[in-house]
């Protein structure tokens, strides 16, 4: 194979970002569109990989709520056991008639103590029952302090939602006064919050059809893609991130068929600062080959109405029009 | 039109900051002086643009207070419904005489449980009423944990108030030993807090009268303006931010009439670090053409009194004196 | 005056750090050793410079405690007024005999409601008293949520205590294999906490005896001083910050008398990251001419004992020995 | 000694990182593998080095729990004293028969007030008892506000656990197309959390056998080691940090015996950003000479299974195979 499958010059940007170098071709998508990594970890026992606070902060609200209810019941049962152990005659005000009702009253006394609601019909009158109750109230306050912290940690996290255009497109665009071809996608801030100092980074995972491994498969390389503009200071609404396909690009000179054979996956990291939550935000996204449209241009979503009012139409973020392009190399360069 | 309307060299700083390139001329101010963007968003359904925590953290105090009261009433009504459902005979201590009074007592019992005040005259005696009450106390504690977090998130945000001079001015100043002309404005820290590492960035939106669009209107360009000094480490009180009008400036060579025709809007981003709140702060501001004074110089606001005590007079932050200037180009250069 | 008072080359580092350029000589120290600025602000009404949260976060603990007690009393008095307004017969369980005792009981009922302690001997039985009480409990929870937040914001701030050596010294030291003279001071971390990525910046305020103002006084200039090393990654215990007096230094070539006439004030900003509190920390300090020792060298405070155990003696941080130096210029250069 | 023990060129990276320059040879390990520094501090009185909040945030959970219980008991005892001081007849509802039981009831009344549980059987009826109780409830709320803050500050800290390979290895590797030798170690993220923008820094502490101190011992130098790659953006699972032994390395040209005589200690600082906790994280680690394996290569831990699923086996993080290497200098260079 004499022809070089892609620009070797671009190999200088070869990346070990994901902890592996060139690998074989059979792999699935590495980064899911929700930003999680598509790989399995093994070799560590569960207790080394599990952190209770991390779980409580990241678990779904329903799971958290279940954990809290289970904990609440459990602590109550433990204290019920203690009250029985020191003798329930230490509690005054009980009106039960059956043993089950008695258990219920002790349980509810415990709950009233743990939550510090303390109505007082049920109240501790013996020494040990009083001592346990005063300890239970302390445990209750500590527990709710922890829960307050966990709830705060959860919603103090900026709920940044960047909307990515459904497709990335390979399209002509004007750059430094010339018509060139670019690989581009579009993002928008779903919320009305202020994101500042947005930064884009793209690592492409590409099959190198020139280099075969022991089993005759093309190897997969990880290359950083240069961008027309890496950061923007203001980010009021939308941004089109563009990788210009110039001689530094691994895609330079490819035809549509080359591009398909290369099976590129674009792994994207957007970072920025959320002003409302005073927080750095990171968003990962990925476009696989099926989501990259060859020969297409995004429609404009920014316009001024007749009164000069700027308007952005996020409903058209995904919309593009087909454009004919032949090969990712200028004719003069061929 | 042979003459170049503004320095093409400065086009290298052309910016896509606001998500659009060169646009048409009819637009209104893009950035309001309170830092919000002047544009409309459409195309996304409400539920995708609304985040409840974001609302609770940024809403006006009065709105937040209304939301809390409504929630408090609502939760109480829900639990009143539950107590009625399991039978109000499960509550002891009621003294009502009418059905309305009964409802009131159940409601207030619910409120006393939710807030964990639990006086105890009203108290749950039946199994189901006790169970609901113990759950309500848990709901109350969770709710107040969330509210604690929201209140903390609100006032943990640094209340940075930078005061901007009412006008930007175009004035002569001494720079690197030469008399040049500069475009400048002045800021001060209203509070007695410590801001560190302040950084200024200016993007100018300028009409390019050399380049007309399809409808014969000059297009609008977005250009970064170079600054005499971009950052200051200490910021005890005030700072004059200066854009020197040298050959890299888009305004270089303009007359007063050119300047007015160009209709510049200065979009400013100040950033820094608030020591008290341990927080990055960002402040946006904008000067439109009406707020830029041609030929004016700020009066000094820093002085030493007879005992050598440094004094800054923030009351004169806006004050300037008129100075005659002709054109933004040195004679030797014409 | 033919001789240049100090190296003009160093004027390129002239700084507008403190918001003023060259000023007159009569001024006092600009930065106090506790890091506060020594200047007066005027011209803004009080309400624009006062922020209640800023006050609550930075006030002395005793002041904060007084504010909380005053608020607690005030809110109670307001609600006492409301209970009287709707009629105190709405409260059951009172045992008063005099009007004053009655007032006391209403007040304590209010306090028991606001803190949600709700013993229940005193409890609301009428509709309006119950309604007010349920609102007061809500107000109480809100208030304590705010206080929780304020207390957290206070002690979440890293209590970084850098100890600065009592004096800065002008001393010979070895730099890049040569004997040169340096202006240096020493810092240590008082606490056993981890500070990382410490950075030092020095701005010197120096009288320029070559340049006189209208009243014949030398003007004061603000110059950045270059450092042998600006940042250190690890900061386990102590660091000697050194400004080498080479040809870029404003002090280059000065005699002891020149140095005294120049009346330098060293304004220092140390910044770093506190690992325990996950926070950026900034510490300002200043050495005035009286605190700079000409011809002195710090004693070593780091040693290894006979078992090879590294030991740092912070008790000797301030200790120096006298060393004879003549002028801040190498002989070969004179 | 004509031969230079190690590359003098590398002395340009000589570091004063740890607050001392070249020192004598007898020292122990400077950095422990848990990231703490191995040195003693003296010369400061205890009260200057102790910060109560720092203690409460960093102390072991058991110690914190003991401190809280002691505080709880102490505050209760103080208020018991106050109730006795104003006369216990101000408390109603007591049922004691002995003085000890009386003390118990007053104590439990205090606990019920401090925790705001307020059952109400015991309740204040006299003026002074009521006043003290209303103050105690305020103290209780304040205290639990502080404890809430401390607990939050504790678990809001990212529990980052980087696993370091048990050994660092000196092994051949391919770099920029050539076979060279490298000093390398491997890290992995134990938890399933997202770390971003990881950065590695290595300072080596090495004996310089060419330079002897007054007592004839080789001195110890601190040198920064260059890295093949200093930062990685994504860090899904593992990273091999490599110091290439080229002509800039202090180890360049060493034989195995030289290396042993040099007794290198690798002091490592890893930093990064924890997305879940929105926090900068710093991890220090150290390899002493006994933990550096000469002539060894890590086994691959990343693989794709037959379905193309990427898998990382953290159980083999420490595993290496022996490789023969002679000297850390290419033959062509000798």
Of the ranges A55-64, B4-13, D32-41, D199-208, which one carries the lowest mean pLDDT score?
B4-13
A167 or B207, greater pLDDT: A167
Q: Which of A304-313, C247-256, D120-129 is predicted least confidently?
A: A304-313
Other residues' Cβ atoms within 10 Å of the Cβ of residue C226? 16
**How far apart, in whole angstroms, are the C-alpha atoms of residue A265 and residue A262?**
9
Question: Which CA distances in Å does D166 have to D163, D184, D204, D285, D287?
Answer: 9, 12, 18, 11, 9
* pLDDT per position as a tens digit, C178-216: 778 899 999 998 887 778 889 999 989 888 887 777 677
- Kindly report the pTM of this predicted structure: 0.85
Cα(A10)–Cα(A15) distance, rounded to whole angstroms? 11
Q: From the candidates B134, B136, B227, which should be mutated to test the interface with A, based on the most A CB atoms within 10 A?
A: B134
Exposed, middle or buried: residue A267 (CB in 10 Å: 0-12, 13-18, 19+)? buried
Distance CA D123, CA D141 (A): 18
Tokens 């230490």 appear where?
A90
- Main-chain phi, psi angles of D256, to 5 degrees: -60, -35
β pairing state of B231-235 and D292-294 = unpaired
CA angle C254, C255, C259 (to 5 degrees): 70
Lowest-pLDDT range of B54-58, C26-30, D142-146, D182-186: C26-30
Reduced to 3 states, what is the DSSP secondary structure of residue C134? helix
**Chain B positions in Cβ-Cβ contact with residue A315 (cut-off 8 Å):** 42-44
Residue B315, chain D, CB below 8 Å: the answer is: no
* Res. B183: pLDDT tops 90: yes
Query: Is the per-residue pLDDT at B38 higher than 60?
Result: yes
pLDDT at B334: 34
Distance CA C55, CA D324 (A): 67
Q: Can you tell me the mean pLDDT for C111-126? A: 95
pLDDT at residue C332 in the model: 41
Whether residue B21 lies within 8 A of chain C, CB to CB, comes out as: no
Instruction: Give the model confidence (pLDDT) of B41-96 as tens digits.
Output: 888 888 888 888 888 888 999 999 999 999 999 999 999 999 999 999 999 999 98
Residue C292 above 70 pLDDT?
yes
Contacts of C177 (CB under 8 A, 6+ apart): none
How confident is the model over C241-267, as a mean pLDDT?
89
Residue C167 has pLDDT above 80, yes or no: yes
List strand residue ranges (DSSP E) for A176-194, in order.
Answer: 178-189
> Does residue B176 surpass a pLDDT of 70?
no
Q: Supply the mean pLDDT for chain C.
A: 84
B25, B31, B15, B39: which is closest to B286 by C-alpha? B31
Q: Which two tokens stand for residue A280?
A: 């750095």
* Interatomic CA distance for residues D170 and D328, integer angstroms: 9
pLDDT along chain A (334 residues), means of 10: 51 54 58 80 83 86 94 97 95 92 96 95 94 96 90 78 92 76 92 84 86 75 87 84 89 88 90 84 90 91 74 90 73 38
Please report the pLDDT score of residue B36 as a whole number.
Answer: 80
Helices (H), D252-318: 256-262
> How many helices and strands in chain A, by DSSP H and E?
6, 17
Return d(Cα D291, Cα D286) in angstroms, integer.
9
Residue C227's pLDDT is 92
Which residue in chain A has the smallest CA separation from D123?
A120
Which of B14-23, B33-42, B142-151: highest mean pLDDT? B142-151
Q: Determine the distance in angstroms separating the CA of D276 from the nearest CA of chain C, rounded to an integer.
A: 14
Determine the average pLDDT of the residues in C106-130. Answer: 95
What is the pLDDT confidence band of residue B298, given thresholds at 50, 70 and 90? very high
The answer to whether C92 and B121 have CB atoms below 8 angstroms apart is: yes
Cβ atoms of residues B201 and A233 within 8 Å? yes
Question: How confident is the model at residue C331, as a pLDDT?
Answer: 38
pLDDT band at D195 (very low <50, low <70, confident <90, very high): confident
With 70 as the cut, is the pLDDT of residue D16 above it?
Answer: no
Report which of residues C86 and C19 the model is more confident about: C86
- Banded model confidence at residue B104, pLDDT cuts 50, 70, 90: very high
In whole numbers, what is the pLDDT of chain D averaged over residues? 84
Q: What is the DSSP letter of B25?
A: T
Show the tokens assigned to A53: 């606070």
Task: Report pLDDT for B333.
Answer: 40
Closest CA in chain B for residue C25 = B308
| Chain A residues with CB-CB distance to D68 below 8 A | 138, 142
Closest residue by Cα to residue D263 from D216, D206, D212: D206
pLDDT at C10 over 70: no
Q: Tell me the mean pLDDT in the region D201-211.
A: 85
Across chain B, what does the average pLDDT equal?
A: 84
Which domains, from first to last, does chain C contain? Answer: 5-39+159-333 (2.60.40.1400), 47-156 (1.10.287.70)
Residue with tokens 């709707």: C86
D28: which chain C residues are within 8 Å (Cβ-Cβ)? 307-310
D176 has a pLDDT exceeding 70: no
Q: Which pLDDT value is given to residue B155?
A: 75
pLDDT band at D211 (very low <50, low <70, confident <90, very high): confident
Q: pLDDT digits over C20-45, tens only?
A: 445 555 556 778 888 788 778 888 88
pLDDT over 90, % of chain C: 40
Sequence-distant contacts of D108-112: CB under 8 A, at least 24 apart: D108/A124, D108/A130, D108/A131, D108/A133, D108/A134, D109/D83, D110/D76, D110/D79, D110/D80, D110/D83, D110/D136, D111/A134, D111/A137, D111/D72, D111/D76, D112/A118, D112/A133, D112/A134, D112/A137
Position C2 confidence tier, pLDDT thresholds 50, 70, 90: very low
* Residue A172: per-residue pLDDT: 85
Contact D312 A137 (CB under 8 A): no
Q: Considering only residues 86 to 145 of chain C, which have any Cβ-Cβ distance to chain B shorter than 8 Å?
A: 92-93, 113, 116-120, 122-125, 127, 130-131, 133-134, 137-138, 140-142, 145
Mean pLDDT for the stretch of residues B206-228: 81
**3-state SS of B63-82?**
HHHHHHHHHHHHHHHHHHHH
**Residue D94 CB contacts under 8 Å (≥ 6 apart), including other chains:** D88, D102, D105, D106, D122
Is pLDDT larger for residue C72 or for residue D29?
Answer: C72
Cα–Cα distance between D115 and A94 in angstroms, integer?
Answer: 23
Interacting residues of B37 by C-beta distance below 8 A, sequence separation 6+: A236, A237, B30, B31
Sequence-separated (6 or more) residues with CB below 8 Å from residue B61: none
Q: What is the pLDDT of residue A2?
A: 37
Residue D99 CB partners (closer than 8 Å, separation 6+): none
CA distance A300 to A137: 62
- Tell me the ipTM for this assembly: 0.81
Q: Which residues, in sequence order, are CB contacts of A129 under 8 Å at separation 6+?
A: A83, A86, A87, A88, A90, A91
- Give pLDDT tens digits for D257-313: 889 888 899 999 998 888 878 888 888 899 999 999 999 999 988 777 777 677 888
Of the CA atoms within 13 Å of residue C194, those in its CB half-sphere come to 17
CB contact under 8 A, C116 and A116: yes
Task: Provide the pLDDT for residue B330.
Answer: 47
User: Is the predicted pLDDT of residue B14 greater than 70, yes or no?
Assistant: no
């Amino acid at each position: 194979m004499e022809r070089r499958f892609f620009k070797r010059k671009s190999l200088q940007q070869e990346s070990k970002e994901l902890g592996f170098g060139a690998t074989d071709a059979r792999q699935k998508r590495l980064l899911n569109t929700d930003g999680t990594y598509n790989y399995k970890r093994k070799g560590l026992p569960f207790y080394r990989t599990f952190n209770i606070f991390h779980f409580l902060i990241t678990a779904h609200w329903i799971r958290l709520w279940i954990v809290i209810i289970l904990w609440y019941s459990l602590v109550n049962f433990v204290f019920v056991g203690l009250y029985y152990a020191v003798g329930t005659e230490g509690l005054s005000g009980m009106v039960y008639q059956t043993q089950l009702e008695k258990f219920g009253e002790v349980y509810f006394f415990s709950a009233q103590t743990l939550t510090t609601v303390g109505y007082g019909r049920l109240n501790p009158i013996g020494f040990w029952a009083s001592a346990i109750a005063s300890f239970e109230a302390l445990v209750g306050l500590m527990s709710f302090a922890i829960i307050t912290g966990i709830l705060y940690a959860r919603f103090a996290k900026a709920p940044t939602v960047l909307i990515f255009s459904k497709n990335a497109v390979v399209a002509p665009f004007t750059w430094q006064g010339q018509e060139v071809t670019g690989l581009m996608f579009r993002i928008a801030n779903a919320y009305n919050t202020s994101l500042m100092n947005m930064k884009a980074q793209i690592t492409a995972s590409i099959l190198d059809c020139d280099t075969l491994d022991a089993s005759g498969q093309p190897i997969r390389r990880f290359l950083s893609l240069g961008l027309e503009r890496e950061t923007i200071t203001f980010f009021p609404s939308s941004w089109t991130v563009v990788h210009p396909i110039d001689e530094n690009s691994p895609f330079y000179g490819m035809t549509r068929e080359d591009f398909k054979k290369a099976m590129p996956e674009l792994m994207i990291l957007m970072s920025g600062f959320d002003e409302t939550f005073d927080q750095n935000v990171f968003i990962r996204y990925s476009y696989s080959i099926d989501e990259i449209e060859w020969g297409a241009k995004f429609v404009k979503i920014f316009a001024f109405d007749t009164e000069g009012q700027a308007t952005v139409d996020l409903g058209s973020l995904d919309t593009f029009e087909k454009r004919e392009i032949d090969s990712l190399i200028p004719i003069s360069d061929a």
